[in-house]
A and B are shown apart, each in its own frame.
Chain A
Amino acid sequence: MMSNHGNRITQGQFSFLPDLTDEQITLQIKYALKNNWAVNVEYTDDPHPRNTYWEMFGMPMFDLKDPAGILMEVNECRKTFPNHYVRVTAFDSTRGWETPRMSFIVNRPKNEPGYRLIREERGGRSMGYTIVPYATDKPEGERYV
């Protein structure tokens, strides 16, 4: 975590960069739409890297031509969950892919406490390691207030 100031979680695209501005987000969405990917907005307050399925904010958006509609939804989600993680994903339905092709965080909680490292002594001299987000000590919805 030496290179990761303030314990910013680094998942998906651009997460080592400073937060994207709305113009930059618009350009990214434009790229997704150009490729006919369905874009949707998701949120969570459990930043564990194995937490793959975030809650969807509204419906996935098909048949959109312009990023303005999605940015509207992103801002709506930010307003509803100002202290959650919010990400934009772009799903490619082409046969053979059928998977998200883009995913990037567009909103973070003000304070990100990061992860606790847990060492587990196992049989013999082996060690098990796992991480737990400090935030998940609290119940869902109260983690980043």
Chain B
Amino acid sequence: MSETDEDTQTEIPPDDTEVDLEAEFHSSNVQEVLDKLDRELVGLIPVKTRIRETAALLLVDRVRKQMQLSSETPTLHMCFTGNPGTGKTTVALRMAEILHRLGYVREGHLVSVTRDDLVGQYIGHTAPKTKEVIKKAMGGVLFIDEAYYLYRPENERDYGQESIEILLQVMENNRDDLVVILAGYKDKMDRFFHSNPGMRSRIAHHIDFPDYRPDELLAIARLMLAEQNYRFSPEAEKAFAQYIEKRRQLEHFANARSIRNALDRARLRQANRLFAGAGRKLTKRDLMTLEPDDILVSRVFSEGRPDTVDGAVPENT
């Protein structure tokens, strides 16, 4: 160790050393991830801007490190706030990739957990459980969904506090080993940070995820269908736009996740419709196209409440 320290000590680059940020940027291949983010995620402009900024900051920090202008690893822990289905997990996945390409995490995998994975059921159960998760996440990103559940002020003997303390310690001491991303609803996260100031001060980047606009949701629907080789007929698309308008007003609306579930149900109805109309000659186009009938039968239209089809994933989980 001491030897390498001496080596670097002796060759501090002079102030007028040229810095090629462009080349550094290209060699890290970060642009590729950013492009992917742009392509895969509709809307979310503020989030994309923030991520671009963060990537730029990290890149400059890396070059500064090469020039020996800084030696500390910057704090990379983040907090994603936003309503369900706004793409927090997907962005976290891309973030892990960006951090990996910039060399801030060694492996670049994402370990996604919730309260149940961290907090134990009895005394002495929490610490090993939390540590096990932390060990799995080392070298990558630990994504804690609905992080505010970790802290339950109404129960002062809740084991969540213990988990938070271990996390805080690791976030401080093992900054080179893992990056923690907390996610959850905005107001609940704010309350969480209010009662855990230590957590707040250790998180450098707060990114807020806005709700999708109706036209963005429709674009998402089209994208999801295209991935599965389906498409809307022009009338069906209009019907779905109406569906989105109506569904948005109802309870448990989970943005992109609700859209996915609605599409799953539409596919189910389409399959039923095709099956019921057996005898008629079907074409490949029929198999690919969703018709307005598949959408308009939804309970959102008739009864003004969300569908619940047996076997469908509940939207509010």
Contact = CB atoms under 8 A, between A and B. Distances in A.
A70 B132 CA distance: 10
A59 B128 contact: yes
B177 interface: yes
Given A59-B132, A72-B135, A65 B177 contact: no
A66 B111 CA distance: 12
Contacts of A66: 106-107, 138-140, 177
Interface in B229-283: none
Contact of A58 (B106, B107, B128): B128
Interface of B is mostly: loop
Most chain A CB neighbours (cut-off 10 Å) among B135, B139, B174: B135
A65 B132 CA distance: 12
A36 to B, nearest CB: 14
Most chain A beta carbons < 10 A, residue from B107, B109, B138, B176? B138
Interface string A51-67: 00000001101011111
A63 B136 contact: yes
B139 A68 contact: yes
A73 B106 CA distance: 19
A120 to B, nearest CB: 46
A69 interface: yes
A66 B174 CA distance: 13
B95 interface: no
Interface in A67-118: 67-70, 72-73
Nearest to A66: B139
Contacts of B295: none
B58 interface: no
B134 interface: yes
Interface string B166-181: 0000000010111000
Contacts of A61: 132, 135
Contacts of A64: 135-136, 138
A33 to B, nearest CB: 9
Contacts of B178: 68
A29 B174 CA distance: 18
Contacts of B135: 61, 64, 69-70, 72-73
Contacts of A70: 135
Contacts of A67: 139
A63 B111 CA distance: 11
Interface of A: 58-59, 61, 63-70, 72-73
Given A59-B132, A65-B136, 11 more contacts: A64-B135, A65-B109, A65-B138, A65-B139, A66-B107, A66-B140, A68-B139, A69-B138, A69-B177, A72-B138, A73-B135
21 contacts: A59-B132, A61-B132, A61-B135, A63-B136, A64-B135, A64-B138, A65-B109, A65-B136, A65-B139, A66-B106, A66-B138, A66-B139, A66-B140, A68-B138, A68-B174, A68-B176, A68-B178, A69-B134, A69-B136, A70-B135, A73-B135
